[in-house]
């Protein structure tokens, strides 16, 4: 309200704050955030809408995160103080010698405020700088003590708190969410025997076989060092130069050029621990294991043209999606599965299980679901939680152990090391989001930013003065699996590491035809951006070892003659795998139907309001998120009944931000929309990006105006364009079904129609 604004001490229109009156600063106004009379809000909204959350979830909302309550700070209704707790009289003006005079050195309040501000930023992560995170829990389905003594698997129904961060790899902290990239999938389990970090990706293999090459990989993919271009993109010479000289990268390139690299949502990606790990049970028996996360919402991806346009329309697309789903109570869920195998089995495989460029198809070793993860709470503070969380592959717990995968071995060092510079010292485990909920007792002391006040005079072991405490846990503690080790000290790789193409081929032949087309087009896009022709040729030469049709199609797309295939070492023959359907995105459609799918309903003056309300209600009933989209905000008159209010505009929420569109009846509305190029673009993009369209009566004129073909390239009717008469309930059902499924890739052509 105006009265409130006038009373705010920072309001420059209040005369009482100038001249002599400045000597007695006013006390700040205390407004209860929930008091609509004071905030002037008619909707009960305060600093944020219900859609974005009010930034203040109930304390202790998740049992697991309750220990963080002790550090959660809430300023509501409080007086402003310095960092020393001194109440600040005036937070608007610096201290001066005379109203027009020098600013005084003694102004400790100004200096504290500015100094703190000057140091607000910390180094961003050297990779995975851009990310979003949430709290939740892991719930065990069934005791797994025969396989592992890890406490989170000890009992059916046992819940272990988690904090999960998803990320892109190459882009900087403020870069776009929908870049073509691998996505990080890092889970911190706060188990009752210490923190376990499963630091994985949304792809089950990696670019390189040995940590020794990681800095080279990252230097190649990051923006080129002379000009800092391009941001969050692998489509440039240095990345492909490196790739073209590194055949071990081939399998991962197939994944990175597939739709896996442009997920629809963090909620619709799989996650993988990538490496072979060990599970160890209480008797000390061990098996090998790979970790797999599968999203309950199914695996769904964007199409490339859409991903590019989303970057402009909403570069926070994935961050917003995760946040809004959790605020709306549509908690994202994944199932964790173990892929367990023995050392004897591993020896029989064509590939080496210590080679992180290889996966084990589910068809070869099945997955055993062991629990589900639910993300049910957004962080309160992005910096304190999402930015300061430190995931480290070295953080494992009794019952889990490493394998000799040389990439994993290098990672064990790298993550702890990087936090020391990123988070300012060796005490980063004391930052609340990183602290275990398990008790912590040892003789480590001091260092920058130490929080704990360790009591007593003993900080060594053995000791008698403290009765020997803290005691080592012996058999109850973490004890490395006693794997036998022998052999010469060498820098080298096992023979099976020399075969690079079999699984790349397996991946390609396991994709559906549209997925294969997307891979071809992604190679064409990336390599067209590459300026050095020799690099393009080397990649095509590499692809000839994967699949001749793939190589030919990429060569055609680049206007190249097929070069000779890249020589192979022939130490290990390229295995001939049968297709593995589990590697296709279509294999996991999900079980959540149209839940959280975003649907635009295009409205203009003269729209059929009753029809709009019916469809809106029918979509809401199944958990979808409908929005009335029009040319401008404000009410639109309808054919009959009350006007409808446009919720978002064509200008601010273009088609790429929705999963489907409804074009309701109303000749006048359609006529008006047909004159708005934003509406025509909207419809064209929905079509081009293979999304369902529900078109009612007069709405069809908008499709015609936009030039949208109603038949598939083969001349048959497009099943995802549903043209219906008003009141046709079957049409709405067909639309929902199309929305719940995969996209209508059958309508794609190259170039697009
Ligand atoms: Fe890494 C971050 C995943 C190989 C070195 N990595 C990082 C994150 C994820 C991964 C998800 C972000 C964690 C977060 O959200 O804070 N990295 C992987 C996977 C790999 C992998 C799945 C291969 C299987 N990484 C890898 C190697 C090295 C690193 C081989 C170094 C030898 N990674 C790092 C790092 C980062 C990191 C430099 C940067 C920020 C951080 O650790 O905390 O230490």
Residues with CB under 6 A from ligand 1: 125-128, 131, 165, 167, 184, 186, 199-201, 206, 211, 214, 274, 356, 390-391, 407, 410-411, 414-415, 418
Structure confidence by residue, pLDDT tens digits, 596-634? 999 999 999 999 999 999 999 999 999 999 999 999 999
Contact 577, 502 (CB under 8 A): yes
**Element of type H or E holding 694:** strand 693-696
| Tokens 């569109």 -> residue | 661
pLDDT of the residue at 30: 62
Question: What distance in Å separates the CA atoms of residue 73 and residue 110, rounded to the nearest whole number?
Answer: 22
- Scan for tokens 């055993």, then name that residue: 368
SS3 state at 202:
coil
Enumerate residues 6+ apart whose C-beta is below 8 A from 110.
94, 95, 103
Contact by Cβ (8 Å): 338, 370: yes
- Per-residue model confidence (pLDDT) at position 49: 40
- For tokens 């692998």, the residue is 234
pLDDT of residue 42: 43
Strand partners, 165: 133, 186
How far apart, in whole angstroms, are the C-alpha atoms of residue 284 and residue 135?
A: 32
Q: H helices then E strands: how many in the chain?
A: 19, 18
Summarize the annotated binding site for heme as residue ranges.
125, 165, 214, 411, 415, 422
* pLDDT of the residue at 233: 98
- Ligand 1, residues 129, 182, 199: which to mutate, most atoms within 8 A of Cβ? 199
Q: The tokens of 624 are what?
A: 């979808």
- Distance from C-alpha of 326 to C-alpha of 52, rounded to nearest angstrom: 10
Whole-angstrom Cα distance, residue 196 to residue 346?
Answer: 25
The answer to whether residue 595 is catalytic is no
First to last CA, the chain: 53
**Regarding the domain delimited by 131-434, which CATH topology (the fold level of the hierarchy) does it fall under?**
Catalase HpII,  Chain A, domain 1 (2.40.180)
Q: Choose among 214, 212, 237: nearest CA to 225.
A: 237
**Taking the mean position of all CA atoms in its chain, how far away is CA 669?**
38
- Write the secondary structure of 649-696 as one string of H (helix), E (strand) and C (coil): ECCCCCHHHCCEEEECCCHHHHHHHHCCHHHHHHHHHHHHCCCCEEEE
* CA–CA separation, 219 and 411 (whole Å): 17
Calculate how far, in angstroms, residue 200's C-alpha sits from the geometric centre of ligand 1. Answer: 8
335 contacts: CB under 8 Å, gap ≥ 6: 293, 294, 296, 369, 371, 372, 373
> For the chain, where do the domains classified as CATH 1.20.1370.20 start and end?
503-587
CA 166 to ligand 1: nearest atom? 15
**Could you give the residue range(s) of every CATH 2.40.180.10 domain in the chain?**
131-434
Q: What is the pLDDT of residue 87?
A: 96
Instruction: Give 598-747's CATH code, choosing from 3.40.50.880, 2.130.10.10, 3.40.50.300, 3.10.50.40.
Output: 3.40.50.880
**Residue intervals in the chain for CATH 3.40.50.880:** 598-747
Residues of the chain whose pLDDT is less than 70? 1-14, 29-66
Tens of pLDDT, residues 678-694: 999 999 999 999 999 99
Please give the CATH architecture assigned to the domain spanning 503-587: Up-down Bundle (1.20)
Ligand 1, atom 19, residue with closest C-alpha: 200
What DSSP state is assigned to residue 48?
S
Residue ranges with strand state E in 151-280: 159-168, 183-191, 194-201, 271-272, 277-280
Ligand 1 atom at minimum distance from 165 CA: 15
- Which tokens belong to 255? 């994944």
pTM of the model: 0.94
For a mutational test of ligand 1's pocket, the pick from 359, 391, 416, i.e. the residue with the most ligand atoms closer than 8 A to its C-beta, is 391
Give dist(CA 435, CA 428) in Å, integer.
Answer: 9
Kindly name the residue from 62, 195, 201, 202 that is annotated as catalytic.
201
Ligand 1, closest atom to CA 417? Answer: 44
Residues contacting 464, CB < 8 A, separation 6+: none
Q: Cβ of 305: how many Cβ atoms within 10 Å?
A: 15
- Cα 127 to averaged position of ligand 1 atoms, centre (Å): 7
The whole-number pLDDT of residue 26 equals 75
Among this protein's residues, is 128 annotated catalytic? yes
639 secondary structure, DSSP code: S
CA–centroid distance, 128 to ligand 1, in Å, is 7
Predicted pLDDT at 40: 46
Q: Which atom of ligand 1 is nearest to the CA of 419?
A: 43
268 near 521, Cβ under 8 Å? Answer: no
Distance in Å, CA 415 to ligand 1 centroid: 7
């Amino acid at each position: 309200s105006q009265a409130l604004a006038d009373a705010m001490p920072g309001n420059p229109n209040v005369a009482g704050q100038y001249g002599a009156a400045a000597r007695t600063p006013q006390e700040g106004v205390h407004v209860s955030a929930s008091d609509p009379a004071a905030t002037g809000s008619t909707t009960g909204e305060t600093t944020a809408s219900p859609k974005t959350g009010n930034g203040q979830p109930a304390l202790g909302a998740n049992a697991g995160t309750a220990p963080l309550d002790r550090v959660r700070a809430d300023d509501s209704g409080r007086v402003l103080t310095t960092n020393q707790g001194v109440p600040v009289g005036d937070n608007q003006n610096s201290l001066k010698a005379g109203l027009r005079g020098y600013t005084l050195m003694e102004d400790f309040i100004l200096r504290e405020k500015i100094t703190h501000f000057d140091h607000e930023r910390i180094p961003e992560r050297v990779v995975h700088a851009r990310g979003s995170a949430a709290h939740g829990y892991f719930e065990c389905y069934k005791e797994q003590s025969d396989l592992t003594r890890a406490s989170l698997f000890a009992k059916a129904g046992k819940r272990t708190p988690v904090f999960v961060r998803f990320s892109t790899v190459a882009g900087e902290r403020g870069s776009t969410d929908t870049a073509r990239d691998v996505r990080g999938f890092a889970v911190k389990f706060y188990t009752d025997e210490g923190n376990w970090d499963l630091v994985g990706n949304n792809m089950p293999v990696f670019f390189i076989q040995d940590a020794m090459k990681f800095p080279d990989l990252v230097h190649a993919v990051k923006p080129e060092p002379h000009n800092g271009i391009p941001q969050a993109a692998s489509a440039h010479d240095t990345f492909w130069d490196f790739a073209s000289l590194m055949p071990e990268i081939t399998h991962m390139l197939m994944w990175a050029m597939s739709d896996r690299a442009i997920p629809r949502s963090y909620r619709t990606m799989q996650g993988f621990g990538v490496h072979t790990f060990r599970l160890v049970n209480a008797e000390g028996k061990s098996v090998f294991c790979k970790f797999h996360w599968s999203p309950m919402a199914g695996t769904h991806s964007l199409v490339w043209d859409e991903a590019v346009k989303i970057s402009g329309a909403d570069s926070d697309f994935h961050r917003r999606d995760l946040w809004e789903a959790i605020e709306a109570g549509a908690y994202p869920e994944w199932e964790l599965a173990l892929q367990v195998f023995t050392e004897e089995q591993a020896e029989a495989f064509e590939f080496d299980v210590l080679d992180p460029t290889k996966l084990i198809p589910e068809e070869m070793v099945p997955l055993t679901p062991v629990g589900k993860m639910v993300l049910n709470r957004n962080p309160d503070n992005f910096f304190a939680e999402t930015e300061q969380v430190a995931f480290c592959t070295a953080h494992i717990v009794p019952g889990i152990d490493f394998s000799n995968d040389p990439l994993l071995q290098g990672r064990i060092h790298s993550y702890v090391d990087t936090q020391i510079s990123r988070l300012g010292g060796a005490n980063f485990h004391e930052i609340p989001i990183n602290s275990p909920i398990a008790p912590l007792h040892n003789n480590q002391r001091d260092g920058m930013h130490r929080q704990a006040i360790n009591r007593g005079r003993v900080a060594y072991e053995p000791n008698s003065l403290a009765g020997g405490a803290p005691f080592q846990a012996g058999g109850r503690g973490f004890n490395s699996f006693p794997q036998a080790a022998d052999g010469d000290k060498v820098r080298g790789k096992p023979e099976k590491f020399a075969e690079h193409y079999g699984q790349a081929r397996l991946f390609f032949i396991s994709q559906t035809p549209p997925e294969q087309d997307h891979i071809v087009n992604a190679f064409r896009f990336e390599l067209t951006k590459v300026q050095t022709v020799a690099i393009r040729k080397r990649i095509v030469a590499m692809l000839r070892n994967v699949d001749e049709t793939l190589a030919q199609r990429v060569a055609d797309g680049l206007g190249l003659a097929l070069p000779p295939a890249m020589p192979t070492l022939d130490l290990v023959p390229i295995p001939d795998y049968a297709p593995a359907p589990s590697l296709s995105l279509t294999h996991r459609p999900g079980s959540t139907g149209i839940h959280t799918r975003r649907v635009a309903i295009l409205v203009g003056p003269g729209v059929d309001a009753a029809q709009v309300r019916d469809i809106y209600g029918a979509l809401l009933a199944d958990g979808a998120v409908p929005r009335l989209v029009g040319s401008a905000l404000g009410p639109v008159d309808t054919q009959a009944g009350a006007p409808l209010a446009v919720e978002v505009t064509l200008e601010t929420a273009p088609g790429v931000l929705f999963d489907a569109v409804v074009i309701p009846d109303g000749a006048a509305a359609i006529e008006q929309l047909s004159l708005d190029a934003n509406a025509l673009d909207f419809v064209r993009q929905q079509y081009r990006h293979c999304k369902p369209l529900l078109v009612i009566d007069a709405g069809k004129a908008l499709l015609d105006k936009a030039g949208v073909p109603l038949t598939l390239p083969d001349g048959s009717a497009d099943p995802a364009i549903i043209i219906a008469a008003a009141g046709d309930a079957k049409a709405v059902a067909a639309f929902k079904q199309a929305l719940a499924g995969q996209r209508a890739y059958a309508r794609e052509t190259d170039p697009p129609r």
